[in-house]
Amino acid sequence: MRIALVMLPCWSVFTPPLGLSYIARILRQEGQSVTVFDFNARLWRAMQGQDEDWWDFAQYEHWQNSQIFEEQTLPAIKPLLDSLLKEIASRGFEAVGFSVFHTSAPCVRYASKMLKATCPKMKIVWGGPACTPQWVKEDLEDGTVDAVVLGEGEATAPELFNALAKGASISSMAGVAARGADGKMICGKKRPPVLAHELPLPQFDDYDLSLYQFFQLPIMMSRGCTGSCTFCQETVFFKPYRMRPAAHIAEEIEQGIKKYGIKDFSTCDSLLNGNHKILEQVADLICERRLDIAWGGYARLDPRLTVELLGKLQKAGCKWLSFGLESGSQKVLDLMNKGISIEQAAKTIRVTFEAGIETHINLIVGFPGETESDFDMTLDFLSRNWQFISLVNTGETLGVGPGMTLFEKPKAFGILTDKQGQVLYDINGGWMTKDGSNTLAVRRFRLKKLRRLCRDLGLQWNPESREQALSVTPNGGEQ
Ligand code: B12
Ligand code: SF4
C-alpha cells in the first residue's frame, strides 16, 4: 500500500517528530511503501519573517482552538497548506496517516476533510497523543477519518494498513477505533505495551534536518512513567513504565553521531529516572564509548538521584534535568499523588545543581485544594532554594481535561460539575471548585504572584513571553 505519513501544525519544531519516525520504520519493515511529510516544519520555515511566530508557545490558541483556527489561522496558511495537501492528493497515495496532538487537531481535521473531498477512496488514519475515543468519536462517525490508532502505534499500524490494503474489516481490531456496521464508533481491545528495544531504531532520513530549529535528534530511552499524578494525562498513554536496555540506547546515540553527525539529543521520556540502575548503565556506556554528547530531560525528584549518580550523568553529557516539583505544600503534593516530600525535593534539587546539572523546576498553579497559604508555601520554597534553581517553568494555570484523574473524578477533588457529573467550565473555559474558592481569576492572580517573585529573585522563568497572554481554551485546557 502507498502510505503518506503527515505532521501538521502545530507541533514543536525543535526536532523531527519521533512518533512518525517509529511508525515509518516499522511500516517499511512490514513491506509498505511510506513517504513522510513534515508539513509542520515546512510551514513554519515558510512563515518565518512574519510579525508573529505562531509556533511560539504563547500562540497555541491559534492552532488548538477550532474557532480561532478557522477565523484567523487558516486564512493565513491556506494557500500554502492547500498546495502541500495537493502534493499528497496528486501522488496516488492509498492511505494517509496523520500524527495528531491537541495543538494540531483543527488543522488535521481540515486536511482530512479536504483530502476526503479530493480523493474519496483514500483512507484517512489518525494516531498520536490526542487520539482518545472521546476526542475522535464525532470525526469517525461523520466520516472525517476512517480509523484511529489508540495509544502506541508500532504493533497496531502494520496490521491496520495491511487490512486497509486488502479491504478487510477493521472494526474491532485491537488498538483501533473505527466505524461499525451501524456507523457508530467501535473501539477494539487494548494492545500489550510495545517493547521499544525489540523495534528497529528510528531513522531520520525522511526529514530535512536543516528545517528544524535546533540541530538535535529526539530519543526516547523509556516509555511510560512510574508515577500516577492526578493532574497528568501521560500515564494513560504509555502504560506501564519500561526502560530500554542501556546498550540499545547507546546504539541509537552512536547512530545519531555517525549517521547524522548530531551530538545533541532531546529526550522524549516522560521521566528519565524510572529505573536508576539502567540510567547509570547508560551514563557508564556513554563515558566508556567516549560519546561526546549533550542531553537532558524530565526526571522525578527521587532520593535515588544520588550525588554519585548525578556526577556520572554530568560526565555523560547531561546538561539539565527538569523536575516536577509542582508545589511547595506537602498537603497539595499529597492531593496530587506526587509521591515526593518537600525536604527530599529540596535536597535533590540542590545536589543536582551542585553536580553541575541545570535544574528546571515545573510548578502547578491552582490545584484544587490549594489555599492561598498553600500557594505561599510554593513561593517560600522558591525563596529558600532559589540559588539552586536554574529555571522555573510556571506554565499557565492548571487546566482540567480528559485523561486526568481530576477530570474523571472531579467530585473527589471538590471540582464543580454539571448534573451528569462532568466538569463544569465557565465562559472562559475555566473550571472552579464547588466552594468557589478556586476560580480562573484566583489562579491567574496566583500565577502573577509567582512570576513577580521569580522576577524579584532574579530567577529565569518560562514562558516569559506569556506574561500578558494568560489564555485559556474552551475545554478548560489552561495548561
Ligand atoms: C518531547 C515533548 C515535547 C517537546 C517537543 C520537542 C520536539 N520534538 O520538538 C516540547 C518540550 C517542546 C513539548 C512542548 C509541548 N508539549 Co509536549 N511532549 C513531549 C513528550 C515528552 C515526548 C513526545 C514524543 O516524541 N514522544 C515519543 C513518540 C514516540 O510518541 P508519540 O509521538 O506519542 O507517538 C506514538 C503514538 O502517539 C503513535 N502515533 C503518533 N503519531 C502517529 C501517527 C499514525 C498515523 C499512527 C498510526 C500512530 C501514531 O505511535 C507512536 C509510537 O508509539 C510528550 C510525552 C510523551 N512521553 O510522549 C509530551 C506531549 C506530546 N506534549 C504535550 C503537550 C501538551 C505539549 C505542549 C502543548 C505543552 C505546553 N502547554 O506548552 C507543548 C506543545 C509544543 C508545540 N509547539 O506544539 C502533550 C500532548 C497532549 C495531546 N493530547 O496533544 C504530551 C503527550 C504530554 C502530556 N501528556 O501532557 N513537548
Ligand atoms: S506528572 Fe510526571 S511523574 Fe507525574 S505521572 Fe505525569 S509524567 Fe509521571
At residue 217, φ and ψ (nearest 5 deg) are -115, 145
Rounded alpha-carbon distances, angstroms, from residue 359 to 166, 275, 280, 331, 465: 52, 20, 19, 23, 21
Closest ligand 1 atom to residue 270 Cα is: 57
Q: How many CA atoms lie within 13 A of 175 on its CB side?
A: 22
pLDDT tens-place string over residues 38-66: 999 999 999 988 878 889 877 888 999 89
Which residues make Cβ contacts (< 8 Å) with residue 370, sequence separation at least 6?
327, 329, 332, 335, 438
Nearest CA residue ID for atom 26, ligand 1: 268
Between CA 205 and CA 215 the distance in angstroms is: 14
Question: Which atom of ligand 1 lies at the shortest distance from residue 129's CA?
Answer: 83
In this structure, the residue with its CA closest to atom 1 of ligand 1 is 268
Judge if the beta carbon of residue 297 lies within 6 A of ligand 1. Answer: no
CA 390 – CA 360 distance, rounded (Å):
6
pLDDT, position 196: 87
Ligand 2 pocket mutation, candidates 220, 223, 225, criterion most atoms within 8 A of CB: 225
Q: Which residue has the higher pLDDT, 144 or 236?
A: 144
**CA 172 → CA 94, 148, 216, 418, distances in Å?**
22, 12, 39, 32
pLDDT score recorded for residue 478: 52
Mean pLDDT, residues 457-477 taken together: 59
Residue 228 CA: nearest ligand 2 atom is 5
Identify the CATH number of the domain defined by range 2-187.
3.40.50.280
Percentage, residues of the chain above pLDDT 90: 89
403 C-beta closer than 6 A to ligand 1: no
Domain chopping of the chain, boundaries: 2-187, 215-466
Tally of CA atoms within 13 A in the half-sphere of 94 that contains its CB: 12
Q: Could you tell me which residues come within 8 angstroms of residue 214 by beta carbon, excluding any fewer than 6 positions away?
A: 14, 15, 264, 266
pLDDT, mean over the chain: 94
Mean per-residue pLDDT, 285-297: 98
The answer to whether domain 215-466 has CATH 3.80.30.20 is yes
pLDDT at position 68, please? Answer: 93
479 touches ligand 1 (CB under 6 Å):
yes
* Beta pairing class for 147-149 and 176-179: antiparallel
Indicate if ligand 2 lies below 6 Å from the C-beta of 228: yes
Which residue has a Cα nearest atom 3 of ligand 2?
Answer: 227
How far apart, in whole angstroms, are the C-alpha atoms of residue 109 and residue 133? 15
CA gap 391, 366 in Å, rounded = 20
* pLDDT given at position 74: 96
pLDDT at 191 over 80: yes
Strands 242-243 and 222-223 come out as antiparallel
* Residue pLDDT, tens place only, 384-411: 999 999 999 998 889 998 788 999 999 9
Q: Report the alpha-carbon distance of residue 317 to residue 95 in Å, rounded.
A: 41
- Confidence (pTM): 0.94
pLDDT at 233 over 90: no
